[in-house]
Amino acid sequence: MKKFIAVIILLLVLILFLIFLVYKMVTENGIIDVLRNEIVSQITPELEGEFIDKANNLTRAGNYREALKYYDAVIKTNPRNARAYYNRSAVKIRIRDYKGAVEDASASIEISPSFYAYQNKIAANQRLKEWQSALDDINVYISNNWPNKEKFYYQKGRCLMKLKSYNEAVKVFDEYEQAVPQRYKASLYKNRAYCYGMLGDIEKSKTDYAKAKNLGSKKAEDILEN
């Protein structure tokens, strides 16, 4: 009899422990992760923010494919959710779906322009080597005086360089040389050196390569040695 009671007590403890685990999963995640089994295809408007937050957490954890399911669900329910589009765009950049990233960022911008969406669109277009499109969006970003615009000064010059507008690129590098964050300075000097070289100004090219080398650019060092 005592053994039977002990077994019953053990079973009750196990049941209570399982109930606790389920409760913890629901409360910590905010929602049951039904998307894993692809059961839910639509969500209510009240859950849109919660799904996006869950997707963002998955993204930070590197679980990109799972995050996409949540963004997809939000967009399927509400195709006008700009936040879901620009967040999904960021994930698509990480999985190297650059065309998809541009499409999502563009959709977000059409609904409600934001610097988040423009940042993603610029990044994806540069990966696709769509330099003119990236340049156009960089100009919009800078003109709106959005956060961290200084890093886009360098990217503007780089896009002009890629478009072979070397004189214009040099002007941009000159204009924003002091404003560009320190972590971009070596790249700025290296790219300006390349532009000077293409324009036939060898001395200025060497000077800028030397500046880039002093800031730790291995490529600039290799160019000077050769």
Q: Is the pLDDT of residue 97 over 80?
A: yes
Q: Which letter does DSSP use for residue 32 in this model?
A: -
The DSSP symbol for 74 reads H
Q: State how far the alpha carbon of 9 is from the alpha carbons of 6, 27, 212, in Å.
A: 5, 27, 73
User: What are the structural domains of the chain?
Assistant: 28-147 (1.25.40.10), 165-226 (1.25.40)
The residues, any chain, with a CB within 8 Å of residue 4's CB and separated by 6 or more, are none
The better pLDDT of the pair 86, 11 is held by 86
Question: Residue 213's CB: how many other CB atoms inside 10 A?
Answer: 21
Please tell me the predicted confidence (pLDDT) of residue 32: 44
Burial code (b: 16+ CB inside 10 Å, e: under 16) for 110-122 equals ebeebbbbbbbbb
Q: How confident is the model at residue 10 (pLDDT cuts 50, 70, 90)?
A: low
Q: Which of 15-19, 24-28, 65-69 has the lowest mean pLDDT?
A: 24-28
122 neighbors 141 (Cβ within 8 angstroms): yes
- Least confident among 16-30, 38-52, 128-142, 172-186: 16-30
140, 118 contact by CB (below 8 A): yes
Could you report the per-residue pLDDT of 73-91, keeping only the tens digit for each?
999 889 999 999 999 999 9
Instruction: Quote the CA–CA distance of 178 and 163 in Å, as a whole number.
Output: 23
Q: Are 102 and 67 in contact (CB under 8 A)?
A: no
Separation CA 78–CA 42 (nearest Å): 9
Helices (H), 61-184: 64-77, 82-94, 98-111, 115-127, 131-143, 150-162, 166-176
What's the whole-model pTM score?
Answer: 0.78
